Amino acid sequence: MSFKVVNKLILAKDIKRLDILAPNIARKFQPGHYVSVCPEEGDERVPLSVIDADPVKGTISLIFLEEGQTTTKLGTVAIGESVFSVLGPLGVPARIEKTGTVVCIATGIWTAQILPICRGYRKTGNKVIGIIGAKTKKTLMLEAQMRLSCNTIYMTTNDGSYERRGLATDVLREFISKNEVNLVYAIGSADMMQAVCGLTRDKNIPTRVQLSPVMVDCMGMCGSCRVKVGGKTVLACIDGPEFDGHKVDFEDFHIRIKSFEELDEWRSRKSQLNPKKNESKTLTKFLSDFLKN
Ligand SMILES: Cc1cc2nc3c(=O)[nH]c(=O)nc-3n(C[C@H](O)[C@H](O)[C@H](O)COP(=O)(O)OP(=O)(O)OC[C@H]3O[C@@H](n4cnc5c(N)ncnc54)[C@H](O)[C@@H]3O)c2cc1C
Ligand code: FES
């Protein structure tokens, strides 16, 4: 099967959007789904959220930050060329129902992942308040699309170069102190989602988050994406990525992320010492080899 790239856009420095022909996935897509993408045979697979799908054209849209080897390679695929494989749709779709006023909050690249969630809640008849944040005006993403998908949006930049200076969570704190909110949906770094849950727990507002631990096989087999939710160990790739934010053990989540970062550091230090042997290994390739041995 050919997963042809039919459109490509550069959204900001190191951030690209690819529209890929994947009719079977486009037909089944629901907000919250992700896919596992392999740019070329033999490359590692990376999990990426499906941002949009067109079942008539048979296309899905992915928006990604060129963070490391695989996403950078994916960013080089040109219109008319194909990626080797796109597996999905994966994960449990977001639980979208009519609840009333829903605040959707995201920062940085995670703004792309909140977009289908905002659309889903709006389509279901909710009042959707979007709060998006970035470090600077240049890195604030998808303003026009968010405006179309939300009833109201608030934007923050850390340096004050656009709209309000400060953090997205500053706006959330203010908003929930003055308005009745029925649900908060947050996607961002572990620190950001933990901060959101701290604010909403005090006000008793149900809160959902999307966790992005390192996923190797995305099939529930390798255990790399284990997270603790409600005192139980679950797998983010098949049981999530959406969870009840108030039940997530963020302390454990931080420890797991940190341990993978340390593995990553160890791997890159090893490759500096012995570049020929390890230079092509990306984090998940390293982990899948590690788990096999
Ligand atoms: C369910 C899910 C949905 C995601 N959706 C998006 C998205 O829509 N757009 C986007 O830009 N990014 C998304 N990500 C993150 C994306 O998967 C990683 O940025 C990507 O895997 C990095 O791979 P790399 O080889 O380019 O970089 P590497 O150099 O291998 O890694 C760079 C950093 O990315 C993280 N990472 C690496 N491999 C994985 C992995 N297999 N799973 C998760 N994190 C990893 C680690 O923190 C690592 O330190 C998502 C992650 C998950 C789990
Ligand atoms: S990614 Fe392997 S179990 Fe979830």
The per-residue pLDDT string of the chain (293 residues; one tens digit each, 9 = 90 and over) reads 679 999 999 998 899 999 999 999 999 999 999 999 999 998 989 999 999 999 999 999 999 999 889 999 999 999 999 999 999 999 999 999 999 999 999 999 999 999 999 999 999 999 999 999 999 998 899 999 999 999 999 999 999 999 999 999 999 999 999 999 999 999 999 999 999 999 999 899 999 999 999 998 999 999 999 999 999 999 999 999 999 999 999 999 998 888 777 666 555 554 554 444 444 456 666 666 665 55
Provide the pLDDT for residue 283. 62
pTM value?
A: 0.91
Cα(260) to ligand 1 centroid in Å equals 12
pLDDT at 13 (0 to 100): 84
Q: In the chain, what are the domain boundaries?
A: 3-90, 101-210, 213-236+247-293
pLDDT of residue 12: 86
Name 191's Cβ contacts closer than 8 Å, sequence gap at least 6: none
- Ligand 1 center to 47 CA (angstroms): 6
Binding site membership of 134 for ligand 1 (Cβ less than 6 Å)? no
Report which ligand 2 atom has the smallest distance to the Cα of 236: 4
In angstroms, the CA 184 to CA 187 distance is 10
Give the class (CATH, top level) of 3-90.
Answer: mainly beta
Give the CATH number of domain 101-210: 3.40.50.80
Which of 13, 46, 265 to probe ligand 1 with, by most ligand atoms within 8 A of CB?
46
Mutate to test the pocket of ligand 1, among 50, 283, 286 (most ligand atoms within 8 A of CB): 283
Cα of 235 from ligand 2 centre, angstroms: 6
- How far, in whole angstroms, is CA 17 from its chain's centroid? 14
HSE toward the beta carbon, residue 6, CA cutoff 13 A: 14
Name which residue sits closest to atom 2 of ligand 2, judged by CA: 222
Q: Please name the residue whose Cα sits nearest to atom 30 of ligand 1.
A: 283
Q: How far is the C-alpha of 31 from the C-alpha of 10, rounded, in Å?
A: 23
The confidence score (pLDDT) of residue 278 equals 45
Pocket mutation for ligand 1, best pick of 69, 71, 216, 239 (most atoms within 8 Å of C-beta): 71
- Ligand 1: atom nearest CA of 71 is 26
Pocket (CB within 6 angstroms of ligand 2)? 215-218, 220-225, 235, 237
